[in-house]
Chains A and B, each alone.
Chain A
Amino acid sequence: MPEKPIQGEKRMFVTGNEVVAWAALAAGAEIMYGYPITPQNEIMHYWTRMIPKYGRRFLQTEDELSAGFTTVGGVLAGRRAFTATAGPGNTLMQEPISMAEAMRLPIVVVVQQRGGPSTATVIYSQQEVTLTTLGGNGEGLRVVYSTATHQELFDYTIKSFNTAWKYRFPTFVLGDGYQAKMRESLMFYDPAERGIEMVPTDAYVGRPGMPGVDRAPTHMRNTYNMEEELYDVLQGYLADFAKAAPEIAEHEAFDTEDADLVIISHGVVSRACKMAVRELREQGYKVGYFRPITLRPMPEKAMREMAGKAKQLLVVESAQGQLDRLVKEVIYGSTAEMLSLFKPGVGVTSEEVITRVKEIKG
């Protein structure tokens, strides 16, 4: 039995991509499949350097279609399997992810968002929100965690394996190029030492016994002959998703109780918003902070309650309204004025958020 990758608590100062590789190791991920694309490459680099010591595996595939479908295969074999991608790779990855949705396969995908559309930049964006939450030719039956710090990148990478295997929906860690490449401090830990129990995996194919004699053969399909067959299957899935949603949904908020204006953001942009809210509060502005951590499912109850109290909602994101659309869907009927600070493909600083709020408040 190889030793545990992480023993005790360890303060680290590393890039986000290295954080993901370590977290996957700590979570007991057994195999990664991947295809090179910036800015996620170093996840594969660190993973491939570390795995011989811990008896884990890696396959570099011919493209992201294959990376996604081999990950599907890894999960079918009963392994904690994951892949990582970005931008145009995420576009291709939607095909295998839709198969995972159709067959309730617990694949884990780490996305380090880059600029879009098309090849755009390899640097940063929050433009893969729509694709990651609702991509594929289906109903968005997936879980998406949007992280903001290296600590969260570590925590939620571990958590994503548990969410995926508990609920059997494909699960994403939605990071970005900034988080991928920057260095900051965080604590590494072994999940077991923190009392985090890893949800056990089991194999869909290749289980012991003679199929048709000792056990039923596994016969899994994603194709149906009749509309009604599909409808029935989807009704079951949708009911499961609706039931799981309140258990999965997470958010972070402060100063919303008495706020006239609440700033809504997600991921790394919420760091700028958090700073801005603190500074504006010091200056006497009645502003609040709300951040969905899960973008799919959304923290609907908390968001509706917040929107019911605020007079104005300012959505800030490094995209042209991708979060904004998700928010509006949730708070439909709220009378709060919707305001925005959209910077597609570009980082947002706290200075910009403060300027925007002051512009609104006159």
Chain B
Amino acid sequence: MTVQPAMPKCWRVETKPHKFCPGCGHGLVLKALGQAIDELGIQDKVVFGCDIGCSLLSWDFFNVDTIQTHHGRTNPVVTGIKRANPDVICVAYMGDGGGYAIGSQHLVSSATRNERITAILVNNTQYGMTGGQMAPTTMPGQKTETSPYGRDADTTGSPTQGPEMVAAIAPEGAYVARGSVANMKQLKNYIKKALENQMAGNGFSFVEALSLCPTNWRTNAKDTWKFLEEDMYKYFKVGELKVPGPREKEGQ
């Protein structure tokens, strides 16, 4: 087993290499999260909840207390933990299906209640684990297993603008951003700010991470990055959407 030199300290060495497909973006998002946890020195305080879908493969990823939950239900599980023990720092890790489809009511309600948790949602525009079906984030014209002729926005809707929605409904104190695995430094900073926002007790914090799924996109390395940086960027704008308090301007 080879250990990458850049592996964050809070990663669990025994469970590496990880279980994600080659080229998957999850490893990158979890690397950004790991770096943020290390920099904040909160490994012993974090409780990590992972959803169903490819995100579940992170159930033993960190040397951090971890609960693998049900599809869409990670927000309420970590909400329950946080409400019962406010001393821990709760991270809910999910995919776009878990957050925007089956668990959308939980995302909406966690946001409107300004739950002091951090939700990280990985957007790869389709359901990965179940074999590449159309997701709320699938782009118009994008081919998936359940939109084999390309997503027809007229009959199946347009890609969910998750951070935009959360920013619109969350009260003051919430932190909302959309990052991308194509800009790891920025993504790590967003996640770090999201964790800090929870630690400060300000409110809900939400980071959508634009990610990669070469397996279901059926793309080679070059086309995978092209899919993210050309196609996805058209629909999903990277940046901070809501920053609490006096830092509001900085986020614009």
Contact = CB atoms under 8 A, between A and B. Distances in A.
Contacts of B60: 219, 221
B102 to A, nearest CB: 10
A73 interface: yes
B80 interface: yes
A77 B85 contact: yes
Contacts of A203: 85
Interface string B29-41: 0000000000000
Nearest to A205: B65
A356 to B, nearest CB: 44
Contacts of B87: 206
Most chain A beta-carbon contacts within 10 A, residue among B67, B82, B109: B67
Given A65-B76, A217-B64, A223-B59, A77 B84 contact: yes
Contacts of A73: 76-84
A78 B86 CA distance: 12
Nearest to B70: A99
B62 interface: yes
Given A73-B78, A212-B12, A221-B56, A63 B70 contact: no
A312 interface: no
A30 B68 CA distance: 24
Interface string A80-99: 01000000000000011001
Contact of B65 (A30, A61, A217): A217
A69 B85 contact: no
A79 interface: yes
A328 B58 CA distance: 45
Contacts of B78: 73
B83 A57 contact: yes
B59 A69 contact: no
Nearest to A74: B84
Contacts of A220: 59, 66-68
A59 interface: yes
A210 B78 CA distance: 20
Nearest to A81: B84
A284 interface: no
Nearest to B50: A221
B14 to A, nearest CB: 9
Nearest to A218: B65
Contacts of A221: 56, 59-60, 68
B24 interface: no
A95 B72 CA distance: 11
A173 interface: no
Interface in A179-232: 203-213, 217-223
A158 interface: no
Interface string A23-52: 000000011010000000000000000000
A206 B49 CA distance: 12
Interface residues of B, number: 36
B84 A209 contact: no
A203 B62 CA distance: 19
A82 to B, nearest CB: 12
Given A57-B84, A66-B76, A73-B80, A222 B68 contact: yes
Contacts of B62: 217
Nearest to B109: A62
A203 B85 CA distance: 10
Contacts of A79: 84-85
Nearest to B73: A69
A148 interface: no
Contacts of A206: 45, 47, 65, 81, 85, 87-88
B44 interface: yes
Nearest to B59: A221
Nearest to B12: A212
A69 B73 CA distance: 7
B213 interface: no
A140 B89 CA distance: 33
B70 A95 contact: yes
Nearest to B87: A206
B134 interface: no
Nearest to A210: B44
B92 to A, nearest CB: 10
Given A63-B105, A99-B70, A217 B12 contact: yes
Interface string B8-44: 0010100000000000000000000000000000011
Nearest to B90: A73
B7 to A, nearest CB: 13
Interface in B106-158: 106, 108-109
B243 interface: no
Contacts of B67: 76, 204-205, 218, 220
Given A206-B88, A219-B65, 19 more contacts: A66-B106, A69-B73, A69-B77, A76-B47, A76-B84, A78-B84, A99-B73, A205-B47, A206-B45, A206-B87, A211-B44, A217-B62, A217-B63, A217-B66, A218-B66, A219-B59, A219-B60, A219-B66, A222-B68
Interface of B: 10, 12, 43-45, 47, 52, 56, 59-60, 62-70, 73, 76-85, 87-88, 105-106, 108-109
Top 4 nearest A-B pairs (CB, nearest first) are A73-B80, A212-B63, A70-B80, A77-B84
30 contacts: A31-B84, A57-B83, A57-B84, A59-B79, A65-B76, A65-B105, A70-B79, A72-B80, A73-B76, A73-B81, A73-B83, A76-B84, A77-B81, A81-B84, A95-B70, A99-B69, A99-B73, A206-B85, A206-B88, A217-B62, A217-B64, A217-B66, A218-B66, A219-B65, A220-B66, A221-B60, A221-B68, A222-B68, A222-B69, A222-B70
